[in-house]
């Protein structure tokens, strides 16, 4: 238990405290801090002044006719997931990647090309793709190349 009695300003304060007054004070302060109540805390858009949610660069939009893809990373791999409604599309889809981009071609129609920036650098080899339950998942191992180059800091200015 904390020794509250060592503080001189706290001696008579406990006797004069009313729990209902403390509760009403806390509720009043919470209403001032969160004007919409606790419901506004659950809705992130209202705390930002009703701003529309910004799309991260790791998610593509469906506005331009492309397939919505979700890009995320784990400790060792980068994953690109997107939904294919028709398993027949698997025969014509082509997937490429560079050290920092994933490229999906021929989805949803022939000649379409979708380029996604990956959250980190990836290796050239070792990528794999799996199709299950209408979702194509591409797994690309991260590049762990940590080459350091020392920069000489001399006494000359």
Q: Enumerate long-range contacts of 60-66, CB under 8 Å, 24 or more apart.
A: 60/114, 60/116, 65/108, 65/112, 66/107, 66/108, 66/112, 66/114
Write out pLDDT tens, residues 65-94: 677 889 999 999 999 998 888 888 888 899
* Domain boundaries defined on the chain: 8-47, 69-141
CATH node for 69-141: 2.60.40.790
Write out pLDDT tens, residues 107-136: 888 888 999 999 999 999 999 999 999 899
């Amino acid at each position: 238990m904390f020794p509250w009695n060592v503080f001189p300003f706290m001696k008579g304060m406990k006797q004069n405290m009313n729990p209902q007054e403390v509760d009403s004070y806390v509720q009043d302060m919470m209403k001032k801090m969160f004007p919409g109540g606790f419901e506004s805390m659950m809705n992130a858009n209202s705390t930002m002044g009703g701003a529309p949610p910004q799309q991260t660069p790791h998610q593509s939009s469906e506005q331009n006719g492309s397939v919505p893809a979700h890009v995320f990373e784990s400790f060792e791999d980068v994953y690109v997931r997107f939904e294919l409604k028709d398993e027949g599309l698997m025969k014509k889809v082509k997937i490429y990647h560079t050290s920092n981009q994933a490229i999906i071609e021929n989805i949803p129609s022939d000649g379409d090309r979708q380029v996604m920036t990956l959250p980190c650098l990836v290796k050239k080899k070792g990528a794999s793709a799996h199709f299950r339950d209408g979702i194509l998942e591409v797994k690309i191992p991260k590049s762990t190349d940590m080459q350091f180059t020392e920069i000489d800091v001399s006494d000359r200015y």
